[in-house]
Structure 1
Amino acid sequence: MAIAMNLAWPELTPELYDAARARVGWEEDVPDGLVLHTSWFADDGFHAHDIWESQDQFTRFIADRITPVIKGELGVQGDPQVAISPLHRRFVVPGVTGGA
């Protein structure tokens, strides 16, 4: 079942996010099951919203690729707050492609 994942991580700075993105390479080596990733920074830190084909695929990506880099290599101490919900509907605007 597809899921919507919302994540908040106050300790993750733009510099740490960019370092993790470069080391993990999820844009070049897309994890199995990832459909959409969005991220932003607000006054309370880092936020992400993803769509995944399944919770198992998301969990595996975090355990195998994200945690070793963010917690191991980059030394981030805190944990994110993660909320997962079953995806009810997905609409992609015609003509929208690519990343930015």
Structure 2
Amino acid sequence: MEKHIDISEENVVVTLDGRMHDEDAELLGKELFRYIDQGYSTFIIDMAGLQYIDSTGMGILIAINKQTQQTGGSITLAGLRGTVNELFEVTRLKKVFKIQE
């Protein structure tokens, strides 16, 4: 999986491409939790280029979402497509996250 992270004032913007497996998800989680520790609480995850996400990846996103909500922030998932979109629909996680089409 490829990732690119941009910081713009209060927002952490993460662009993901490829396939997210457990090792990728764990590394991403560690990195995003470091941003939370630094005081960032608003995350935008651009998933338009993401073709696959496993349960570890979904779990990391849920954990980040929970942590940001506790500090008054949020996580927005953008560009959900294909199988990734279907997975978020089937698991009803689209009701948990802010979704930007």
TM-score over 0.5 for the pair: no
TM-score normalized by the length of structure 1: 0.30
The answer to which structure has the higher strand fraction is: 2
| Higher RCO (CA-CA < 8 Å; seq separation 6+) | 1
TM-score normalized by the length of structure 2: 0.30
The answer to which structure has the higher helix fraction is: 2
